[in-house]
Amino acid sequence: MNILVVHGPNLNLLGMREPGIYGTFTLERINGAIAELAAELGCTVSFVQSNSEGSLVDAIQQASGGFDGILINPAAYTHTSVAIRDALAAVALPVVEVHLSNIHRREEFRHHSFIAPVAVGQISGFGPDSYLLGVRALFNHIKKEIVTQA
């Protein structure tokens, strides 16, 4: 099983970016923890981070064929991007949306997600654990899909 982990804009700054909200873990450290969990579960993970909407759309389009599911923190594009939502809908892979912070208890403009309607589910508010919970949820979801299709 291959999972693509997609990180949106400004997540490359984790560790020094608003640590009161996003914590002190760097993206590298989060990716390391995801890779460790993936090895434990017996799946492979690849990572992509971009600050640009078009590059994220390209990465999602390229996931078709090579990956069984997408774990995505679309960051600010969560609240603005029809293009990322359409790309996810187009590739038709199972998607889990994650956020470090609880977007629903923050500013009102963060309450709406363009991504949620094309995702299996959303995990929000658990810091780096959101990613780890997301990997487990996506892994279990894909496994169930494989059993149902067999």
Rounded Cα distance, 124 and 145, in Å: 24
| Alpha carbon distances (Å) from 84 to 5, 31, 40, 41 | 14, 21, 30, 28
- Residue 75 touching ligand DQA (CB under 6 A): yes
List the structure tokens of 29. 């450290």
Selected from 37, 51, 62, 110, the binder of ligand DQA by CB under 6 A is 110
- Which residues make Cβ contacts (< 8 Å) with residue 86, sequence separation at least 6? none
Selected from 67, 99, 135, 139, the binder of ligand DQA by CB under 6 A is 99
Interaction mask 6-45, ligand DQA, x per CB under 6 A: ----x-----------------------------------
Measured from the CB atom, is 3 or 72 closer to ligand DQA?
72
- Residue 133 touching ligand DQA (CB under 6 A): no
Rounded Cα distance, 109 and 88, in Å: 22
Phi and psi for 109 in degrees, rounded to 5?
Answer: -65, -15
Is 99 designated active site?
yes
Least distance (Å) between residue 146 CB and ligand DQA: 29
Measured from the CB atom, is 21 or 90 closer to ligand DQA?
21
**Catalytic residue (choose from 7, 77, 79, 99):** 99
**Could you list the active site residues?**
22, 99
